Structure 1
Amino acid sequence: MKQERAIRTRERILDAAAQGFAAHGYGRTTMQTVADRIRLTKGALYGHFTSKEELAAELVRQAGQAWRQVADASRGPGIPAASALRRLLSGLARRHHEEPRFHAVFRILAEQPDGPFAQPGFAHDLLAGLTEEFRRAQRAGAIPRWTSVEGLARLSVGAMLLASHAGIGGPDAADAVRDDVELLWDMVEALCQEREPPAA
């Protein structure tokens, strides 16, 4: 019973931290504001997490798991590469809009002083995974061979980093997800329609 209560408290802390990071940014969220959000004493909070950095690190770790789930769910027997890629982008956009913890991680990364890719971990894994998915679509002929798959992956991550400053959830979340995916897909298709550069 005591252990179950501790687990519930830990989850409440992570939710409160994610809401704070997503709404106000990493820099403006403190351990005190997290404690205040769920009416927890600061001492009780420190019993679960010793610092804001530790809170952020746990959220980033969970985002890595979520990313792998989205990637696995987008693929399947008989699913064309282009459809799988679109499902992947849609899944990422949905999580970004509907899950405060996932959304918060991009806000955390966007505020890193040395940039989101300064440290190894989630951002690098996401970029590498997206690059591979774009490359897979390219091998299947859905993306022209002269298009930079690395550039498309960076565009996708950059769009989520920019969107991290927008609100999450609410009654219009589904429309926002659809609009984001359509806009990103339009940009991808526009880049893919560039004519092949002349041979040197």
Structure 2
Amino acid sequence: MVKQQERSRRTREKVLDAAAEEFSAQGYSRATLDAVAQRTGMTKGALYGHFASKQVLAGALLTQSRKVWDELRLARDVPGAEAGEVLEALVLDLACRLKEDVRLRAALRLATDAPDLTPPVPDVFEDVQRGLAGLIRRAQGTGETAARPPELVAQLLLAVMYGAPHVAFESPAGGGPAADEAAWRLLLDALTGGGGRPAHLTDAAPPG
């Protein structure tokens, strides 16, 4: 019984990975269960034994990715942490996770192009955007970042995150942080007015 449950769990994970690849590449409307089954080497009937429809598959990916976001946020946004520091850490965490985790990439695409699912599932894109905007607003309140529209800054960050996995950033001249990290810090500074943030969060000297 235990072995059967473990086999079922592994098969479910395999299907979720295949579905994530399909949704990430094709979007919700063009993705099909036939294509997901082909990616797993399963028959469509066997796939139905784990997920009854494309809608259920999409919902499972969105629900799981909401948990990923919650875990990332709770790990960084701890009592006493400065909002600007939490914001930078979360942006770097998300950017790294999106590059490595096809399920999260698929969930962000599904959040923007999937129809309303039944039963309703969390809107991951909206949750992440609201969380980032809240951190930006807090950082502005403590003078860590410039007064710019928090929602717009969060939207721009997410828009770049959505496309960033397809870009290979060049390492900065003279060494320093890794290429991806340097690129994200540069973007975050440009969008938030990083000159007001604590010196240890940037490579620049504090304003005189």
TM-score of Structure 1 vs Structure 2, range by shorter chain: 0.7 to 0.9
C-alpha contact 2:27 2:110 (8 A) present in aligned 1: yes
Which 4+ stretches in 1 moved above 6 angstroms? none
Give 1:107's aligned residue. 109
Deviation at 1:79, TM superposition (A): 3.6
Deviation at 1:67, TM superposition (A): 0.7
Q: Which amino acid aligns with 1:10?
A: R
**Structure 1 residue 110 displacement after superposition:** 3.7
RMSD, matched Cα: 3.0
Segments of structure 1 that go 5 or more residues without pairing to the other structure are 194-200
Q: Structure 1 residues 180, 13: closer, same or farther in 2, change over 3 A?
A: farther
Pairs aligned (count): 183
Corresponding residue number in structure 1 for 2:190: 187
For residue 94 of structure 1, what is the amino acid of its counterpart?
A: C
Cα distance in 1, alignment partners of residues 112 and 83 from structure 2 = 30
1:5-44 counterparts in 2 under 5 A? Answer: 5-44=7-46
Change (3 A) 1:181 1:108: same
2:150 corresponding residue in structure 1 = 149
- 1:31 CA displacement: 0.3
Task: Give the drift of 1:18.
Answer: 0.7
Structure 2 CA distance, aligned partners of 1:168 and 1:38? 28
Q: Are the structure 2 counterparts of residues 32 and 148 from structure 1 closer, same or farther at C-alpha, using a change threshold of 3 Å?
A: same
> What amino acid is the match of 2:184?
V
Q: Report what 1:53 is aligned to.
A: 55
Larger RCO (CA within 8 A; separation ≥ 6): 1
Q: Tell me the distance in 2 between the aligned counterparts of 1:47 and 1:33.
A: 16
Given that residues 81 and 137 in structure 1 are in contact (C-alpha distance below 8 angstroms), is that contact kept between their aligned partners in structure 2? yes
Q: CA deviation at 1:77?
A: 5.2
Percent identical among aligned pairs is: 38
Structure 1 residue aligned with 2:203: none
1:127 aligns with 2:129: yes
Match of 2:138 in 1: 136
Q: 1:192 to 1:46 in 2, by over 3 A?
A: farther
